[in-house]
Amino acid sequence: MADQNPGSNSCDEAQAAVEGADRLIDRLQDKAVEGIKPGGDSFEAVVDIVEELETAPEINEVRKAAGSKPRWGTGKKPVGAAKLDQLGPHSDVPEGP
């Protein structure tokens, strides 16, 4: 039987994308926890999280399953990470309250 919605993906592909997104969320949570631990580097944690969000293959799989085009994967430095680099050394970033 022909697909009723051209360009849509199978339930298996959608399930795989959701499982991948779940793994990505776990990794992001781990990076955030490392950054807020005593002695952790919160600036580096943010940089790691931004890079992960921009380069993680799971993001493209979710976009594909949703029928959207992937935004990353050009092999270039992630846009957000490049912007964070413009802030300079994290010692220049003011501390929170």
Q: Would residue 5 count as lying in a domain? A: no
Q: Would residue 96 count as lying in a domain? A: no
In the chain, the number of structural domains is 1
CA dihedral 26, 27, 28, 32 (to 10 degrees): 100
Range of the domain at 36: 11-88
Q: Are 28 and 52 in contact (CB under 8 A)?
A: yes
Q: Would residue 29 count as lying in a domain? A: yes
Total-model pTM: 0.60
Predicted confidence at residue 67, as pLDDT, reads: 85
Q: How confident is the prediction along the chain (97 residues), in pLDDT tens digits per residue?
A: 444 454 455 888 889 999 999 999 999 999 999 999 999 899 989 988 988 888 888 888 888 888 887 665 544 555 555 666 665 555 444 454 4
